[in-house]
Amino acid sequence: FDEAYVGPFTWDLKRFAASIALIGYAKALSDEQITELVRIYAHAYRERIHALSTGAKSDEVPPFTLDTAQGPLLDALRDARSLTRFGLLESMTEIRDFERRFAAGGGSVELDAATRYKVLAAFDGYLETLPDSSLARPDSYRVKDVVGRRGIGIGSAGLPSYNILLEGHSDALENDVVIYIKQAQTPAVSRHITDQAIRGYFQHEGHRTVISQRALQAHADPWLGWTELDGAGQLVAEVSPYAVDLDWGDIDDAEEIAQVVADLGRATATMHSAADDQSGESLVPFSTERAIDAAIAADEDGFAPLLVDFAHSYGARARADHQTFVDLFRNGRIPGL
């Protein structure tokens, strides 16, 4: 969602097709196998978008749940289900004087008084961006502790980020909630969108990220919001205790890869269908699934080949770029390194 923006639906599909090409190459799959995987993804996406555009019943487009998922996606759901809020809190906090506080170490950084004041002021601004349904219990937002944090990922490396410990849904210590505030970044695709109605819609990148996430998810994080800190837009969200990545390192069987790719094609279509006039935003005032269905229908035979060609050309370009980077790096030809 950090990179989400308003643009052609094919951009998401091309990005995933490129990922298939790169993962397939890393797993020593042939070009023919990569082509087939991209076609499977395209077919699954096409089939689901068409079903959604025609108002198919819920049993024809079932969501991914513990009852309907299969293979690695089912394993990921089960792994997520096995995690607990208590486990997350145990890894980040401790009980001191009968109250939960952030524990030292583990990437946390103690804040000076001035920084703490700025972060809490930004937190007050964040509360104003939450929907009324999230504010049903004001005590949930009582701040217990604040720390800075390090090691938050490649995209935000070097940028200040903060964790805030909140009371949560009850006074029980195991129900405390950790949210994070981090500076939102400019999406790479935004330079290619010149429509001023789009550029002027968002207050800042934190606002854009939150609006995008709410639009693309059927059940967005109720703690999701935005604020400003030192003049920069910030994203605020819960540190989820149930976050699990799909581990492609363990997916090597050709049939299993194909199954995952098809499932993710259907998931992409479902996300696209959510980002329309029903999202509560005015940027996309029409039914996305019907518009996408019509666009694909206009060139049905060219849809999958478009993604296949992009996957192979992008894969070749990415490998060549990486080799250039490695050669420059190992020969000391990158200034500053």
Residue 5 has pLDDT above 80, yes or no: yes
Residue 125 has pLDDT above 90, yes or no: yes
Alpha helices in the chain (DSSP H): 10-26, 31-53, 71-82, 85-92, 113-127, 196-199, 205-216, 254-274, 288-297, 300-330
- Beta partners for 99? 96
Residue 134 has pLDDT above 80, yes or no: no
Q: Greater confidence, 279 or 77? A: 77
* pLDDT of amino acid 151: 60
If phi > 0 it is left, if psi is from -120 to 50 it is alpha, else beta; for residue 28 that is left
Residue 215 has pLDDT above 90, yes or no: no
Cα 329 from Cα 8, distance rounded (Å): 35
Q: What is the DSSP-derived secondary structure letter of residue 240?
A: -
Cα 241 from Cα 179, distance rounded (Å): 11
* pLDDT of amino acid 50: 96
Q: Taking the chain, what is the end-to-end CA distance rounded to the nearest angstrom?
A: 31
Cα 274 from Cα 256, distance rounded (Å): 27
* pLDDT of amino acid 24: 96
The mean pLDDT value for 80-99 works out to 93
Q: pLDDT tens digit string along 284-323?
A: 888 899 999 999 999 999 999 999 999 999 999 999 999 9
Residue 138 has pLDDT above 90, yes or no: no
Lowest mean pLDDT among 53-67, 144-158, 285-299: 144-158
Contact 39, 309 (CB under 8 A): no
Spatial neighbors of 160 by CB under 8 A, at least 6 apart, are 148, 183, 229
Q: Greater confidence, 309 or 189? A: 309
Spatial neighbors of 174 by CB under 8 A, at least 6 apart, are 85, 86, 89
Cα 65 from Cα 77, distance rounded (Å): 8
Residue 277 has pLDDT above 60, yes or no: no
The mean pLDDT value for 269-275 works out to 88
* pLDDT of amino acid 59: 67
Q: pLDDT tens digit string along 199-208?
A: 889 999 999 9
The mean pLDDT value for 127-138 works out to 84
267-305: b (≥16 Cβ within 10 Å) or e:
bbbbbbbbbbeebebebbeebbbbbbbeebeeeeeebbe
Contact 235, 212 (CB under 8 A): no
Residue 157 has pLDDT above 70, yes or no: no
Residue 6 has pLDDT above 70, yes or no: yes
* pLDDT of amino acid 227: 97
The mean pLDDT value for 138-150 works out to 92
The mean pLDDT value for 73-86 works out to 93
Average pLDDT across the chain, whole number:
91
pTM of the predicted protein model:
0.89
Share of the chain above pLDDT 70, in %: 95
116-120 own/partner pairs: CB under 8 Å, 24+ apart: 116/146, 118/229, 118/230, 119/146, 119/162, 119/164, 119/181, 119/229, 120/146
Q: Greater confidence, 283 or 319? A: 319
Cα 267 from Cα 64, distance rounded (Å): 8
* pLDDT of amino acid 329: 96
Confidence of residue 280 (pLDDT cuts 50, 70, 90): low
Q: pLDDT tens digit string along 34-49?
A: 999 999 999 999 999 9
Confidence of residue 279 (pLDDT cuts 50, 70, 90): low
Residue 278 has pLDDT above 60, yes or no: no
* pLDDT of amino acid 276: 67
Residue 158 has pLDDT above 80, yes or no: no
